A and B are shown apart, each in its own frame.
Chain A
Amino acid sequence: MSGKTRNWILLSLLVVFTIIGVAALVERMAQGLILANFTSVLPWGLWLSLYIYFIGLSAGSFLLSTLVYVFGVKRYEPVGRMALFQALGCLILGLIFILIDLGRPERFFRTIVNWAPSSVLAWEIMFYLAYIVILLVEMWILLRPDLIPRSKLLQRIHRPRRSTILTPKEKSIVRILAIIGIPVAIGVHGGTGMIFAVVKARPFWHTGLFPLIFLISAMVSGGALLTFLTAFFSKIEQSRRGQIVRSLAKLTATVLILDIFVLFIEVVVVLYGDIPDHTHPYNLLLAGPYWWVFWIVQILGGSVVPLVIIFGRRTSDKLVWLGGAALLIFLGVIGVRLNIVIPAQQSAWFGGGPAAYHFLKNPTGYFPSSNEWLSSLGILTLGVWGFWFGRKMLPLESEHGMAETDVEEKDNTHETDN
């Protein structure tokens, strides 16, 4: 099969998935949450899991981009814009997921109009707004020099630029925005962890480690996505790309080990304490009906196999293997998110154990409904389209960046890395 036929097959598959997914989204908007398999006991499901997954991807990607724009790591310069684009795209996908998760999506503006400062979720909305502004401005300033020569429309409305290189003033604006962005991104995803951590009704979530776990796994997923995209979809020349992918994969793997370590601490403390309310969700996580989401998706597929590939002697310098390992980590974090959201709610300990809900049909045995799956698929295809168009229309892989300067002006960024 030639590459062209393969591309056509992939494209038509994408179109079919998009049509199905968008139809499911329309159905969900028309009929409401009755299509989802939530129960009174288990109110948060697949959509919410994917929401925290994409918000995490976004925050992780942004924090990676600060390596370039704040810490001046020259090696990652060629993928800095991609990381920012990823951050923006994943944030939008995450917000779409939380939007369709709302019972009344048309009332989303109330989170701003009726802002209630006692709620972590309300603060999160503020963080998302600040974050999206920072992302847009930062990307605009970074892409503008390359974007103007490309676009007739921009040439008409924007005053002409002398060169495609960032001026020192623009560089310092980008740097300041990225510096402000660090606490905001930590607020965006650490705060998403706080949404869960403050819920004392679910002992599984009610731990100070949770925001930390969220942040670390956000770094893991963001790094994995950037590694994967750079390995397979980048136009950077081969040797340079290999260098970046190897370095990114090692970085991601190191953070992944930290992630597993923190999870290990939590599991040991909980199982050692053996308080029933607290142990029960962990029993469900480790040996419940969805044991495979933990052991197969999160541990084996999402951690062990990729770590073996990334650190293995034969595979650690092969681009395809590293990209595949990154894809595995990236997918494994979906398991991490599901494991955060679902088992904690399956252990319904309210006033007397699961038997208290005998009248509800399967109160804690959640499995996403067909509409939940298909509308999620629809949003994911929107993400693929966004990536495709973004890559086509935006100068995401230009060589112009922070490190480059006009001949006459001196470079004042610290160059510790080459």
Chain B
Amino acid sequence: MSSKQTHVNVKRYAMVVDLRRCIGCHACSAACKSENDVPLGVWRTWVKDFEKGTYPKVRRDFLPLFCNNCDAPPCVPVCPVGATRKGEDGIVIINPHKCIGCRYCMAACPYGMRHLHPINNVVEKCHWCLHRVKAGLAPACVDVCPTQALHFGALHNPTDRVNRMLIDNPVQTLKPELGTSPHVFYIGLDVRLVEGE
């Protein structure tokens, strides 16, 4: 789990989130909204915060959430019209011209990462700013993170920094037990952040 073995000739991107660095500023959420024109009332990425301990020994922890762009995405096979699919670079995308808005994929996503566009009435999701990735840039949330808690890179490039981070650090994914093989890896993920309260 800790290090994803990927063939060099198969494109696969990954995100590494260093939770020890996250200060909960929500800059990633805001950058995503502006980069992707995400309408009011819905979000593609957000930060969960969690208070631990009792006064005076307290601490606030944060968990930024993005689409995991799973290797085995449960949202893809359920689409009745094949509007959503995993692209060649491993990023799950939606064809807005095909989507009928049945929201089956929203029900099927274990991470609740999809939303309905309130005006176009089709489902949308975080695609790690695919348009930027194709242009050789990092996603907007990664670029804007003031503490460099977010990292984005190519698993298929052995010299990429994310490969080094995945080797050097114990990492965790969300709901690994579902076998979806998520590609957002968290360093320093606290069990209390992922367990419900």
Contact = CB atoms under 8 A, between A and B. Distances in A.
Interface string B73-105: 010111111110000000000000011111110
B197 interface: yes
Nearest to B65: A351
Contacts of B48: 351-352, 355-356, 358
B178 interface: yes
Given A34-B119, A195-B104, A351-B111, A200 B178 contact: yes
A43 B107 contact: yes
Contacts of A33: 101, 116, 118, 121
B159 to A, nearest CB: 31
B108 interface: yes
B115 interface: yes
Given A351-B111, A352-B48, A104 B193 contact: no
Contacts, number: 154
Given A40-B116, A280-B196, A199 B46 contact: no
A353 B77 contact: no
Given A111-B81, A114-B82, A119-B80, A101 B74 contact: no
B77 A44 contact: no
A122 B81 contact: yes
Given A32-B121, A351-B63, A355-B48, A41 B112 contact: yes
Interface in B117-136: 118-123
A119 B77 contact: yes
Nearest to B184: A351
Given A33-B121, A121-B78, A351-B65, A103 B104 contact: no
Contacts of A280: 196
Given A41-B112, A352-B193, A202 B107 contact: yes
A355 B197 contact: yes
Chain B interface extent, by class: 35 or more
A356 B80 CA distance: 29
Contacts of B110: 200-201, 350
B109 interface: yes
B100 to A, nearest CB: 4
Contacts of B74: 199-201
A114 B101 CA distance: 14
Contacts of A119: 77-80, 82, 104
Contact of A352 (B42, B120, B195): B195
B175 interface: yes
Contacts of B81: 107, 110-111, 114-116, 122
B7 to A, nearest CB: 24
A70 interface: no
A356 B78 contact: no
Contacts of A120: 78
Nearest to A125: B80
Contact of B79 (A34, A116, A199, A352): A116
Contacts of A416: none
A110 to B, nearest CB: 4
B151 interface: no
Contacts of A201: 74, 107-111, 178
6 closest residue pairs by CB, A with B: A103-B101, A353-B196, A103-B121, A350-B112, A116-B82, A201-B110
Given A102-B102, A110-B81, 7 more contacts: A44-B107, A104-B99, A107-B99, A198-B78, A350-B109, A351-B48, A352-B63
Interface of B: 41-43, 46, 48-50, 63, 65, 74, 76-83, 98-104, 106-116, 118-123, 174-175, 178, 193-197
14 contacts: A32-B121, A34-B118, A103-B121, A110-B98, A116-B81, A119-B78, A119-B79, A119-B80, A121-B104, A124-B80, A199-B107, A201-B108, A201-B178, A351-B112
